[in-house]
Amino acid sequence: MHVIHGDGPRTQTGPSAVTIGAYDGVHLGHRAVIAEVTRLADERGLQTVVVTFDRHPAQVVRPESAPKLLCDLDQKLELLADIGVDTTYVIHFDEVQAAVPAEDFIDDVLVSCLDARAVIVGEDFHFGKARGGNVELLREVGRIQGFTVEGIDLVDRDGRPAPNEAKVSSTAIRRLLAAGEVVEAADLLGRPHEVRGTVERGDGRGGADLGFPTANLTLPEEIQLPADGIYAGWLERTDGTIHATAISLGHRPTFYERPGDRPLLECHLLDFSGNLYGEPVRVRFVERLRGEERFDSVDALIKQIQADVDRTRELLPEP
Ligand code: RBF
Ligand code: MG
């Protein structure tokens, strides 16, 4: 997949079928839209292009209530490449970009750079300064500039038009994750939820005192985490090897008074020895095992962790 950075050198694509949006998570609803872009592109001999942003526009426009992200930019680009998108145009979204009138955005990006012949967006898509651009404006400009516009409605998880509450949306997936419902979230994402972070040095207690060493991850602030709790999942290393892992996400109430800050994500890899310090890894949440608990003794905690590890082994097939 070809990636164009909006603030980088100006390259031009061939005539294209374009969709625009945050595409956070590249979930099944997004995939349905992109499938339509691809269908149209094939029919009319066009390139497929996704125009998206390097952060969620809400992080700039209303930072106090911006949603957490379902994936970072790197993962988004990987997911778009996986489904066969020809080109992704990444807009660097900042205050300057937020102030660009919708008409200028259409002229600069859609017409000049991407030679858009077809534009496919969600029916309720808004863009440009003060969210002034919409499907209707696209249609008006399209009639003059020579591109067609299709506004499509979000779909349910089977790809059918759906009432609001059944629609696959990033918001619905965030809510499921926040409730710990990782299986349901995976159902809408089309894959387990994944977070990416770097392994840092922890307390050293897991290995020395508990017999269950863990890789502690530093995570980017803006990524959506599941609810605190214990999960079974996968950890993928930089060399591509995938390990079954029992995941603890939370505040370790057995050892610490609950601080108000962000939870700690720790992974105990099954059948693994060695340390991963400094390594960037990917963690996928497959099943929720239980909520985090405060144990009266270290022995009780160890017993429970052993049961979690056994359950993880049962739940996860060989990688
Ligand atoms: N800590 C707790 O305080 N309560 C728990 O219920 C808990 N469950 C865990 C389950 C698993 C599978 C693992 C790997 C760790 C768990 N921990 C829990 C975290 C544990 O206290 C931590 O790994 C060590 O204290 C080292 O940081
Ligand atoms: Mg640890």
CA 248 / ligand 1 centre spacing (Å): 6
Query: Which ligand ends up closest to the CA of 216?
Result: 2
Domain boundaries, the chain: 2-171, 192-315
Task: Considering the domain delimited by 192-315, tell me its CATH architecture.
Answer: Beta Barrel (2.40)
C-alpha distances (whole Å) from 306 to each of 207, 212, 246, 258 are 13, 8, 10, 24
**Which atom, in ligand 1's list, is nearest to the CA of 308?**
12
- The distance of Cα 187 from the centroid of its chain, to the nearest Å, equals 14
- Is-same-fold flag (2-171; 192-315)? no
Question: For ligand 1, what atom is nearest to the CA of residue 256?
Answer: 3
- Ligand approaching nearest to the C-alpha of 208: 1
Rounded to whole angstroms, the maximal C-alpha distance in the chain is 73
User: pTM here?
Assistant: 0.94
State whether residue 153 is helix, strand or coil: coil
According to the model, what pLDDT value does residue 160 have? 73
Q: What is the pLDDT of residue 234?
A: 98
CATH architecture of 2-171: 3-Layer(aba) Sandwich (3.40)
Q: What pLDDT sits at residue 211?
A: 94
Per-residue pLDDT of the chain (319 residues; tens, 9 = 90+): 999 998 887 777 889 999 999 999 999 999 999 999 999 999 999 999 999 999 888 888 888 889 999 999 999 999 999 999 999 999 999 999 999 999 999 999 999 999 999 999 988 889 999 999 999 999 999 999 999 999 988 777 777 777 666 778 999 999 999 999 999 999 999 999 999 999 999 888 888 899 999 999 999 999 999 999 999 999 999 999 999 999 999 999 999 987 667 899 999 999 999 889 999 999 999 999 999 999 999 999 999 999 999 999 999 987 5
- For a ligand 1 pocket test, name from 266, 275, 286 the mutation site with the most ligand atoms within 8 angstroms of its C-beta: 266
| Per-residue CA distances from 98 to 53, 66, 73, 102, 125 (Å) | 11, 15, 19, 10, 15
Residue nearest to atom 7 of ligand 1 (CA): 292
Q: What is the pLDDT of residue 319?
A: 59
Residues 6+ apart with CB under 8 A from 32: 152, 155, 159, 168
Counting ligands in written order, the one closest to the CA of 309 is 1
Q: Which residues form the pocket of ligand 1, taking CB atoms under 6 Å from any ligand atom?
A: 202-203, 205-206, 210, 212, 214, 230, 246, 248, 252-255, 266, 268, 292-293, 301, 305, 308
The per-residue pLDDT for 11 is: 75
For this structure, is 150 an active site residue? no
C-beta separation of 250 from 290 below 8 A: no
Residue 152's nearest CA partner among 124, 125, 122 is 122
Ligand 1 pocket test, pick from 245, 249, 252, 293 with the greatest ligand atom count within 8 Å of Cβ, gives: 252
